[in-house]
Structure 1
Amino acid sequence: MELQFFKDFDFTGFWDQSTYSQRDYIEDFPKDEMIASVEEELGYKLPASYIELMKIQNGGMVDRCCFPTTEPNSWADDHIALTGIMGIGREKTYSVCGELGSRFMMEEWGYPNDGVYIGDCPSAGHDMILLDYTKCGKTGEPEVVHVDQEDDYRKTFLAKDFETFIKGLKDEDDFDN
């Protein structure tokens, strides 16, 4: 597969290949029919960069799990933490249409219906990573934001798009805890 978005990105040490990641996150590679079906169910056109990454590995826990922020949040003063990226599918617990996927977070936890929740955090549901379509509409290029349930679902801007978000993830050792 020729990459359009992640050509210059080194995935060495990016994904966590643990048994837990395999069991609860990593879906089979998404076929076009699955992508279209998931987009229809969620009501949003998934970003091409997200689809491309899911064709490299369809979901999983990440070792590069922190993204720098300019404002404090419930996790830290200078970054958010990410547990895993939800794959395109319905089979795994942590896939966008899975048991604890995007719709579940909105319907059961009251998260705002502003896009697609694609990342969970170490807080076990108390904060999430959202592809936020508020500014771009349901078929545009969403921003990536952190949504903090503990702070009245406050959004913290992270990146202008999914590719920038992935490339901006850092190792937790880069931050003073």
Structure 2
Amino acid sequence: MNFWDELLEDEVALSLNKEEVKQIEKELGASLPKKYVEKLEEQNGGDLAFDSVNVDFENTWSDEEDGLHLPLYRFNTLTVEEFENGLSMLKEWGLTGKMIVFGEGEGSYFWYFDFDNNPNEPQIWCLDISDETTLLVAESFDQLLENLVRRKGENEVELSRDDVFADYPTMDEIREIIEGDDEDERLVAYRMWLTRCEDLGGLVIELRQRVQSSNDEDELDSYAELLTEVLLNYTGEEFITYNQAIALFKEKEDVSDLDHVIGQLESNI
């Protein structure tokens, strides 16, 4: 089934601005979950085809008899302005740190990423302003996706992994895009490759070569950030050591300042 509510998707006017995404990540000192960004590349916020998240703890919204869950029906538009508004709202409730509000449910439930423990894999929290509590719901955005459901109507419909990634290209299609001339599509294809988690050694080799050969600041930033994400979250030092990656990034200092990814790698050595 669809991820977004088809009846309302035409109301979303703004497209995702990559420069604003970079600015938000720079201010956070963290990387937004790749699957979250990919969803907003499809549609920058709006109502979901789902209305709830299954949980395993008591809360003000549901009980064990009906099945424990919390409401989540909408993803916010991702812009610098919305990011800053979300920070202000969280601050009003005594919440500070590396956070970003990304969704809401039924007026009194606000969903946010918390990067304080891990700048590359935020925890998913829900602020329940009805009793002024914060609830840890998931350890990752992937886990949140797996627990999304629709409860309206007689039958609960769960979002399976196949539903989430039904529109992703095959590896053959990904490689065909990479061999093309469209740089924006190529970067998206590399992210799709990572999402499929296939041949990650080959992906590391590809990204390393792109970093080595790139003389465009924006392209270099994107490849370096993606390579760092792969190393920190998926492969470790299996295919390239952190020190080798750091040395590679420092070789490109005449093209772009990559201190932000160098710092991420150094903090894990």
TM-score (norm 1): 0.70
Q: 1:54 to 1:40 in 2, by over 3 A?
A: same
| Aligned counterparts, 1:1-177, within 5 A | 12-19=1-8, 22-23=10-11, 27-31=14-18, 33-42=19-28, 44-77=30-63, 78-90=68-80, 95-97=82-84, 101-107=85-91, 109-114=92-97, 115-122=99-106, 124=107, 126-136=108-118, 139-155=119-135, 157-172=136-151, 173-174=155-156
Unaligned stretches of 5+ residues in structure 1:
1-11
Asked if structure 2 preserves the Cα contact closer than 8 Å seen for 1:96 and 1:116, the reply is yes
Q: Which runs of 4+ in 1 moved over 3 A?
A: 40-44
**Structure 1 residues 66, 26: closer, same or farther in 2, change over 3 A?**
farther
Q: Deviations over 1:58-80 (max 9, x none)?
A: 11111212111111212112000
Structure 2 vs 1, CA of residues 169 and 134 (structure 1 numbering), >3 Å: closer, same or farther? same
Tell me the CA shift for residue 44 of structure 1: 4.0
Q: C-alpha distance in 1, partners of 2:45/2:95?
A: 22
1-side partners of 2:38 and 2:3: how far apart?
15
Q: Offset of 1:87 from its aligned partner?
A: 2.7
Q: What is the CA deviation profile of residues 48-99 of structure 1, one whole-angstrom value per residue up to 9, with x for unaligned ones?
A: 22112211221111121211111121211200011201132157xxx444xx
Higher relative contact order (CA 8 A, sep 6+): 1
RMSD: 2.5
Residue 174 of structure 1 deviates from its aligned partner by 2.0
Structure whose residues are more often strand by fraction: 1
Once residues 26 and 96 of structure 1 are traced to their aligned partners in structure 2, the CA distance between those partners, rounded to angstroms, is 17
Q: Which runs of 5+ in 2 are unaligned?
A: 158-269
Residues of 1 paired with 2:117 and 2:35: CA distance?
18
SS of the residue corresponding to residue 141 of structure 1 reads coil
CA contact 1:59–1:87 (8 Å) conserved in 2: yes
The letter of the residue matching 1:113 is T
Say if 1:41 and 1:26 are closer, same or farther in 2 by CA, change over 3 A: farther
Deviations 1:12-51 (A, max 9, x none): 33212445x654x6631332x1211222345543222211
Residue identity matched to 2:46: G
Q: How many residues align?
A: 149
Percent of matched pairs sharing the same residue: 22
CA offset digits 1:99-158 (Å, max 9, x no partner): xx4223224x42512411111110x2x22111122322xx22111122222233332x22
Indicate the structure (1 or 2) with the bigger Cα radius of gyration: 2
Higher helix share: 2
CA distance in 2, matches of 1:15, 1:104: 27
Residue identity matched to 1:83: Y
